[in-house]
Amino acid sequence: WQNTFDPFRSRETVKGLHKVLLREVERPVRIMEVCGTHTMSIFQHGLRELFPEKLKMISGPGCPVCVTSQGDIDTMIGLSREPNCRLVSFGDMLRVPGSNGSLRDAMAQGAKVHIVYSPMDALEIAKKFSDDEVVFLGIGFETTAPSIAATIIRAKKEKIKNFSVLSTMKLMPPALHSLFSQEDVEVDGLLCPGHVSAIIGARAYVPISEEFKIPCVIAGFEPADILAALILLIRQIKNGESKVENAYERAVSWDGNERALEIVKKVFYPVDVTWRGIGVIPQSGLSIRKEFEEFCARKKLGLKIKELPEPKGCRCGEVLKGAITPPMCPLFKKACTPATPVGPCMVSSEGICHAYYRYGFAD
């Protein structure tokens, strides 16, 4: 019996690709991986130790919890303390510190918070607790948006009145555009996210590669996927090319998942939103359309979200732009650890600071 992923983890394949990578890297290059799952996979499989010295990997803003603004986090925690409110969330949000504690702290004080794996579970919770307003915390990128959109459509069909979504969902291409427009971001190539690309398609990176003359390669998450994509990137850099290549064809097509894109478009429209560390990025968030506004928690509950500064001393913003690595933050491994996180990058399982801490990297 063979696991589907075995061929992409095979020692022989990885060894062969590693050899090619070592041969191809001739000058110092900086590659950004924008997906938190790539960051974790690179650490988990020990790829960092295998990379040649001249290849520097930097992490970008690809962890959805990490880029959620302090104002949004405080709003969620505030909402959890409202008497007739019941929050439903993915697990990563629980320990993210707000200005005044986390959701987990609020739970300890009696807040009603449910952890789910699928947004659809929130509808069952809403049916069960019909006296409470059940608010689903919609956090994520293009990958999560279709299932949240489908949940809102189902809620409308089933006429569920006590359910709403606090959308802080974000879109990756506008964030990349904003990031590469900043002068202090030096990147030679982009390792594009596999999951997001499965929805938006490889085509979505063409404007970025053309405008910023940056090679883009979409990668899967197994060691062979990542090494193969890096080889393609290095070859483009050496040849002075800047095109989009897809090294994850088993999951990503050129046009993406048209059905998923359609359902997202039906429920959401793009709006300007704040990304932690980057600021307001035009048309980079998803808000709920008028036709579904009875399920928009912001409108239904009249939420006013105030933008707030980062926790004192936390440099998540710079980490998320790839401007510094976590050990350059003075709080790293001192005041800030996974047990006592100061910023979200130390909490999330896809957070960069968490990865550096867990796998013991110091540079």
Site for ligand SF4 in 252-291 (CB under 6 A): none
Which residues, at least 6 apart from 325, have a Cβ–Cβ distance to it below 8 Å? 58, 319, 352, 356, 363
Residue 326 interacts with ligand SF4 (CB under 6 A): yes or no: yes
Site for ligand SF4 in 329-358 (CB under 6 A): 329, 331-332, 336, 342-343, 345-346, 353
Report the distance separating Cα 189 and Cα 239, nearest Å: 12
Report the distance separating Cα 285 and Cα 287, nearest Å: 7
With respect to ligand SF4, which residue has the nearer C-beta, 84 or 99?
A: 99
**92 phi/psi in degrees, rounded to 5:** -60, -25
With respect to ligand SF4, which residue has the nearer C-beta, 34 or 319?
A: 319
**Min dist. Cβ of residue 348 to ligand SF4 (A):** 10
- Residue 356's alpha-carbon distances to 223, 345, 347, 360, in angstroms, are 18, 10, 12, 6
With respect to ligand SF4, which residue has the nearer C-beta, 70 or 274?
A: 70
Which of the stretches 34-42, 95-103, 297-305, 325-333 binds ligand SF4 when contact is defined by CB under 6 A?
A: 325-333
- DSSP state, 291? G
With respect to ligand SF4, which residue has the nearer C-beta, 46 or 313?
A: 313
Residue 137 interacts with ligand SF4 (CB under 6 A): yes or no: no
Closest to 115 measured CA to CA, from 144, 86, 143, 141: 86
- The pairing of beta strand 112-115 with beta strand 244-246: unpaired
Q: What's the N-to-C CA distance of the chain in angstroms?
A: 40
| DSSP per-residue letters across 241-283 | ---EEES-TTT--SS--HHHHHHHHHHEEEEEEEETTTEEEEE
With respect to ligand SF4, which residue has the nearer C-beta, 125 or 316?
A: 316
Residue 317 is inside which H or E element, if any? helix 316-320
Residue nearest to ligand SF4 (CB): 343
**Min dist. Cβ of residue 114 to ligand SF4 (A):** 26
Which of the stretches 15-23, 28-36, 136-144, 324-332 binds ligand SF4 when contact is defined by CB under 6 A?
A: 324-332
- DSSP state, 284? E
Is the alpha carbon torsion for 354, 324, 208, 243 positive or negative? negative
**Min dist. Cβ of residue 104 to ligand SF4 (A):** 17
With respect to ligand SF4, which residue has the nearer C-beta, 138 or 343?
A: 343
With respect to ligand SF4, which residue has the nearer C-beta, 70 or 89?
A: 70
**Min dist. Cβ of residue 23 to ligand SF4 (A):** 35
**Min dist. Cβ of residue 67 to ligand SF4 (A):** 13
Residue 95 interacts with ligand SF4 (CB under 6 A): yes or no: no
Which residues, at least 6 apart from 243, have a Cβ–Cβ distance to it below 8 Å? 209, 215, 216, 236
Site for ligand SF4 in 300-319 (CB under 6 A): 314-316, 319
Interface with ligand SF4: number of residues (CB under 6 A): 14
Closest to 236 measured CA to CA, from 195, 190, 201: 190
Binding residues (CB under 6 A) for ligand SF4: these are 314-316, 319, 326, 329, 331-332, 336, 342-343, 345-346, 353
